[in-house]
Amino acid sequence: MGDVQTNENETGLPIPLWKQHLLGSALDRETHGMRATLQQVIQPRDVLAEGGDIPGVDLGGDNSLLQAEILNIHGVPATIVDNRGCDALSLALFRGAFGLARCLPANGESLNRPSGIGVTVLGSLFFPDHARQVDDLPATLRFILSLEPKDSNEFFIVSDYVKTSVIHIAAVKYNPDPISRQMLEILLCHYSKPEHLNAKVTTPARSTALRSATEVLNPVAAELLLSAGADHTQLDVEERTCLDIAFQRLAKLTMFNCENESVRDDEFERAGKIVHLLAQKNG
């Protein structure tokens, strides 16, 4: 039953099961570096209907034209989504299948399309649950940023809702893991201009990434943003600086009776680090 419907594409048309298997085969072939030629591709309808594979198709390395050709021949849309709701682009990026990921935007997919969590695939790299699914976070981040046209800022806004930037997402997702720090360093190297560092969301609070990092007690983001040149003197709607906010957060922690002392101690330490960083900047 090769044409059993298991999901629909964005137009509502059914995606045959064998086409989903073809995409899976493309991912597997690239990530395992297997070799062959386009002439060795067989008609997949019968094989893939039973969950089979395409013998000897090379989708590895940088053969993006070959991959596009194979997928187009068999009518696999670049926007295909599997029966778990995962889109092809995210799957390719998460598994490090960069050749396939490169060809999908050229065939109708978009790196700016919101994922299931409401942000683009770039923004999703900073969500812990999604980040754990990525084979190589720094490599994936660098690859996505390499696809952005120079000086276009095309990928900077990862959610049109309140115009949330990828730096805002990274600032509010505190993670003490060293890889998280490396990810933000890569991001701030790419988006290093004042208009990036001091961008504000369009909520009534009009928060910058530095203010958001201060509010959620993210000392890693605060340190890297300050080092990159983020403006710590801007006032919020209550006319508070980031240092004022940090002091208030620290004061609340000293008065707050937390049943979990380890959580309280961790937050107290993080708040103290941010106060110290901002006080140094204030001279």
What's the length of the chain? 283
**pLDDT digits over 62-97, tens only?**
455 556 666 665 677 888 877 777 888 898 899 888
pLDDT band at 247 (very low <50, low <70, confident <90, very high): very high
- Is 51's pLDDT higher than 90? no
Report if pTM > 0.85: no
Using pLDDT thresholds of 50, 70 and 90, give the confidence band for residue 11. Answer: very low
User: Which one is predicted more confidently, 234 or 58?
Assistant: 234
- Cβ–Cβ under 8 Å, residues 49 and 55: no
pLDDT, averaged across the chain: 79
Would you state the pLDDT for residue 26? 57
- Start-to-end Cα distance in the chain: 72
The stretches of the chain forming alpha helices (DSSP H) are: 17-32, 45-49, 64-73, 88-94, 98-103, 121-124, 128-131, 137-146, 166-172, 178-190, 194-197, 209-215, 219-228, 242-255, 261-282
- Per-residue pLDDT, 6: 40
23-43 per-position pLDDT tens digit: 565 565 555 443 333 333 333
- Residue 5 binned pLDDT confidence (cut-offs 50, 70, 90): very low
19-23, 155-159, 251-255: least confidently modelled range: 19-23
Model confidence over 99-152: pLDDT tens digits? 888 888 888 899 999 988 899 999 999 999 989 999 999 999 999 999 999 889
Q: What is the pLDDT of residue 128?
A: 92
Chain segment 196-242, per-residue pLDDT in tens: 999 999 999 999 999 999 999 999 999 999 999 999 999 999 999 99
Question: Residue 196 is which amino acid?
Answer: H
